[in-house]
Structure 1
């Protein structure tokens, strides 16, 4: 911790948002479907909890805590046996509910306790678990437009070395477009409005290009724009529906041209790193194949934007860790509201 009390802001918040843990009573993706092959296991984590995913060849994916009740070795090192998972060490076997159903040298009459299981679902290329009370598990959340055939969807994500709340702030605060000036050119975001309710907050922006040409990557997403250099165009709505975020862009009419669904899943117990899972859906234009041709350019463009965002939020986390507290002097009312929403719906870390 830095010992520089003279520099401590006078309006430092009473609660350190970076010490608020994400609430477990929601569905969280912990792997892409492609990462878990038939008949195999996959080791992952949620907020420090080791989890093993298993995909039987003739049944649905299931999720257990990644330890054998016998000697505590990782079950992810084991073998999928029919619809069960057998530990690599002594062959203790667990079903999808975590019950121990076989100890080879004891017989089935004297079986020990099993391990924790997690409600598990698979949808739109992601494997979700419910880390909270299983009895409270409801339906999966809406996942944007990934299932809509009128859209082409890109699945993306990276491990990011920061608290998940930095990610929420970064996406919702479009005033940071200066960071992307090399990729986006001279864009002037205009904040329009915000709305807030229990567990959610959303805001509207419009944009004007003050100078320079429209980047080709942007054109691949929202289409080519013509007109005066200060033309007001496009509507962007960003929403935090705890713990998820969405971003939609309209250029005309009632249907968005872009629909992003994204969530930031804590990895370690201190929640100082997260794994991002994003579904970026772009509406297909009337000309068949045009979007497919532009897709590599769109991937290149979005990767560069995400790389800049990733670098800056990791710098924010590093600053927090050096200072030992949250010194941010937030002046944007929207982000003040967002921080309240995240604090109210999370829960304190130990």
Structure 2
């Protein structure tokens, strides 16, 4: 079962053949967001999902939110359709009651202990307006830190949430953001700009690339100026490096940060790509975008709708591309990508090394 994938499976990969990257599942031994906090109201339950596995999020009348398998142990009816009473969730069918540990505390029509069966519980935490679960080995949960989530809570920044669903494997999303050489795709939104690669860093669990952007012609869109700073067409002259864009995958999360020429952080994006189905060929992204407030903060408030529309249009162009990549993978029967950019090649190695080959994974034929 996917949820029971172990570290030993990953460790064995060094001794096994290489696998198609799109058949490498996420390692479940990390904290994954599955819902926004505001979606799970006090005294209510909410249905979520991780890699095809149903999860019920329950916010009791007092105390923190908790997560259970979204199936009653009796007739497998979703617990998320049940009734929250005090600190327990009651199945909507026969009223079996489960506590935050998944123990059945009441079978109302039998009125004796030890009759009902438990359901699985997941370690559960809240941070930055997100609800995280730990879908892997619960014994590891306390030793794995929750990720930093942009600049949520920092009054010097304004933050927006986004959570699109995509019909593609999560690895396509990591590759798309890491590789800033695809700006031609966004020419209608951003005009004529080019990315300049400034260098990279890498380690056992991370890969980072740094870029600057130069305008080659045309007027700069207002929303782009809010993100990348004010750039002008220098009519063929080399544009100086004024902002540095750093994209980093620290498995399994991804960030994009922009620092100005003084080294100040002016934009901070954090995102996590959560697998939806058991085959992990669909993804629920959870993202937080924080933008540094200018001296006159109301200016950012006024421009916020424009910025939202701009980032949405950029993302929709990326969505179409990654879903076309997934479609090609299906039609061709595997990953036929010919990667030449060293940073993305290193990223692919990171994702393969840190993930877990699924049951359908077949060794890649070399040569």
Q: State the TM bucket, normalised to the shorter chain.
A: over 0.9
Residue 191 of structure 1, CA deviation: 0.9
Question: Residues 220 and 297 of structure 1 are in contact (CA less than 8 Å); yes or no, is this contact kept in structure 2?
Answer: no
Q: 1:61, CA displacement in angstroms?
A: 0.7
Q: How far apart are the structure 1 equivalents of 2:283 and 2:293?
A: 31
1:22 aligns with 2:29: no
2:265 partner SS: coil
Match of 2:9 in 1: none
Shift of 1:16: 0.5
Q: Give the SS at the match of 1:257.
A: strand
Instruction: Work out which of the residue numbers 138, 150, 162 in structure 2 matches 1:134.
Output: 138
| 2:116 alignment partner in structure 1 | 112
Is 2:313 the counterpart of 1:309? no
Structure 1 residue 288: Cα displacement:
2.8
- Corresponding residue for residue 363 of structure 2: none
Counterparts of 2:350 and 2:297, CA distance in 1: 42
CA offsets 1:293-334 (integer angstroms, 9 cap, x no match) = 110000000000011111110000011011111111111111
- Give yes or no for contact 1:120–1:128 (8 Å, CA) kept in 2: yes
- For the pair 1:39 / 2:48, whether they are aligned, the reply is no
Q: What's the TM-score once normalised by structure 2's chain length?
A: 0.90
* Aligned ranges 1:195-234 → 2 under 5 Å: 195-226=201-232, 228-229=234-235, 230-233=238-241, 234=243
**In the alignment, what sits opposite 2:12?**
none
Structure 1 match to 2:4: none
Is the CA contact (8 Å cut-off) linking 2:105 and 2:113 kept in structure 1?
A: no
Matches within 5 A, 1:169-180: 169-180=175-186
Aligned mates of 1:144, 1:151 — CA distance in 2:
10
Map Cα deviations across residues 5-59 of structure 1 (whole Å, 9 max, x no partner).
Answer: xxxxxxxx95200000000000000011122122111111100111111111212
TM-superposed deviation, 1:139:
2.8
Please give the per-residue CA displacement for 1:107-154, whole angstroms capped at 9, x wherever unaligned: 242333200000111111111100011110133111121221111001
Pick one of 147, 158, 174 that aligns with 1:168: 174
Retained in 1: the 8 A contact 2:215–2:233? Answer: no
Match of 1:244 in 2: 253
Aligned partner of residue 297 in structure 2, secondary structure: coil
> What is the alpha-carbon distance in structure 2 between the residues aligned to residue 218 and residue 322 of structure 1?
36
Q: Which residue of 2 aligns with 1:57?
A: 61
Which segments of structure 1 move beyond 6 Å, counting only runs of 4 or more?
none
State the SS of the aligned residue for 1:289: helix
1:271-290 maps to which residues of 2 (within 5 A)? 271-290=280-299
1:186 counterpart (192, 208, 214):
192
Select between 147-156 and 107-116 the one with higher mean Cα deviation: 107-116
Structure 2 Cα separation of the partners of residues 73 and 334 of structure 1: 47
> Structure 2: which 5+ residue stretches go unaligned?
1-16, 360-367
Find out whether 1:319 has 2:328 as its counterpart.
Answer: yes
CA displacement at 1:236 relative to structure 2: 0.6
TM-score computed with the length of structure 1 as normaliser: 0.94
Q: Do the aligned residues in 1 keep the contact of 2:218 with 2:233 (CA within 8 Å)? A: no
CA distance in 2, matches of 1:239, 1:145: 16
Structure-2 separation of matches of 1:57 and 1:222? 45
Counterpart CA distance in 2 for 1:236 and 1:212 is 21
Aligned to 1:94: 98
Q: CA deviation at 1:345?
A: 0.2
Please report how far the alpha carbon of residue 226 of structure 1 lies from its aligned counterpart in structure 2 after TM superposition: 4.3
2:158 match: secondary structure:
strand
Q: Is the 8 A contact 1:63 1:129 kept in 2?
A: yes
Deviation at 1:254, TM superposition (A): 2.5
